[in-house]
Amino acid sequence: MTDSAFQQCINPDCGKAFGIEEIYHSCPQCGGLLDVSYNWNRLAVPKKLNDFEKYWSKRDVPQRLSGVWRFHDLMPFVPLEQCVTTGEGQTLLQNANGVAPFVGVRESSLFLQYEGLNPSGSFKDNGMAGAFTHGKLVGAKQAACASTGNTSASLAMFCAITKLMKAVIFIGSGKIAYGKLSQALDYGAKTVQIEGDFDDAMARVQEVSKQLGIYLVNSVNPFRLEGQKSIMFRVLEQLRWEVPDWIVVPGGNLGNSSAFGKAFLELHQLGLIKKIPRIAIINATGANTLYRLVEQDGLCWNGGRYDKSLVKRFYDEMTAAGRRASTIASAIEINRPVNLSKCLRTLEVMKGVVRDVSEQEILDAKSQVGAGGFGCEPASAASVAGAKRLVAEGVIGRDERVVCVLTGHQLKDPDATVAYHRMDEALYEKYLKKRGVTETPYANRPVTVANHIDAIIDTVKKDGEQR
């Protein structure tokens, strides 16, 4: 075990520690999730956040160009030069004045963090840089994940670029947007479709990787979450190191929210920030385990001694009722989030709230993000829909600074977009109406016109007059 970084069970009644070079998906003693922990007093950590600006001039070093490893001082589990990068983390925080009125906050108060600008088109690349760095350390040759699409695209891309490992991906049948599936196929991942959904694939991949000794890169892997902390570091960097009031993020397997809570807790413990922002985690109504457990049943972290029997009862009832996750936001179509316990810790650290939003709210928000910026996929828009809801409830104030994390690129799931804009009615009926999206108030309908010059000129002129 190195003396500055180690793995540790998050269960306070266990707390067992393991070396960095060991591979576990959970604590072998008690089954709890693992953290990567640091003896900060043995490490050189910048005294203030703007000390990180010295790395801006080091863009010729691949790890400093990386938006993850630029913050290596805050995730130093191996030396910088051993860190794996594909150029991830060049993402933007946009002051989204075009979207602020929709959300209901004052004009300069809304910020959108576009994680879809990562090389594989989602935030997962931040975490994959962490997982691959650890995978390389332990000499892994094959890596696996279960996925609703983005993790698999990211894993496959990292394998194709680095050639460090070969990718095996487990997906539920018919459950993944083609933009994402096409990436994994192109990048050469072994693609295994399981007859079932993400929750089935997730359970299986854990069994299979344990039996065959395959390196697992789902977010139960604590090194992945180390990489995902950098999303929050970049938010702070782009706000010139000022802490916002709210972070709003979609909740699926709850890796991101878990990583964000750890990031802010550590920054606070290191004295690098004075205040911790609040977090809002947004489920889709059709996959709202966290919302129900936390907001309806009162589940909380309770110093790590959360009510496991409540969770068990909830899952048993779900199994008995045959309830399956179902949402147009396929990335977060998850009913059994593997990071539930870590996420409860985040909710405590960041005084969090959880909401669930409907398919209608998600797609309306998505169209507004598209109209005001670079766009996003449906799951990402849950954050904006959730922020709107919380402003309407008065939980988020109109003058508070709100950062919504847009987790995936607009082009990941074009079907949802063209269906919303009523490209053709059959598509709308199939994808959206059936799911309860009964209105498309922000649709930008394409027009069909005869192939005749007068008719075309007439149509274009009319559009010019309307704008």
- Interacting residues with ligand F0G (CB under 6 A): 122, 124, 147-151, 219, 250-256, 331-332, 377, 379-380, 407-408
Closer to ligand F0G at the Cβ: 74 or 248?
248
CB of 342 to ligand F0G, least distance (A): 10
Q: Which is nearer to ligand F0G, 144 or 254 (CB)?
A: 254
For the bound state, the minimum distance from the C-beta of residue 338 to ligand F0G, rounded and expressed in Å, comes to 8
Nearer to ligand F0G, 133 or 147 (CB): 147
**Closest distance between ligand F0G and the C-beta of residue 257, in Å?**
6
CB of 316 to ligand F0G, least distance (A): 23
Residue nearer to ligand F0G on the CB measure, 85 or 148: 148
Q: Which of 119, 126, 164, 169 is nearest to 147 (CA)?
A: 169
Nearest CB to ligand F0G, comparing residues 149 and 373: 149
> How many Å apart are CA 199 and CA 212, to the nearest integer?
20
Exposure string over 372-400, b if 16+ CB within 10 A, otherwise e = bbebbbbbbbbbbbbbbbbbeeeebeeeb
* Shortest Å distance, C-beta 217 to ligand F0G: 10
Query: Which residue lies nearer to ligand F0G by CB, 250 or 372?
Result: 250
Helix 255-269, helix 222-238: angle, nearest 10: 70
**Nearest residue (CB) to ligand F0G, 148 versus 183:** 148
- Cα–Cα distance measured from residue 89 to residue 439, given in angstroms and rounded to the nearest whole number: 36
Least gap, CB of 219 to ligand F0G (angstroms)? 6
Give the nearer residue to ligand F0G in terms of CB position, either 37 or 122: 122
Minimum Å gap between C-beta 216 and ligand F0G is 12
Nearest distance in Å: CB 202, ligand F0G: 8
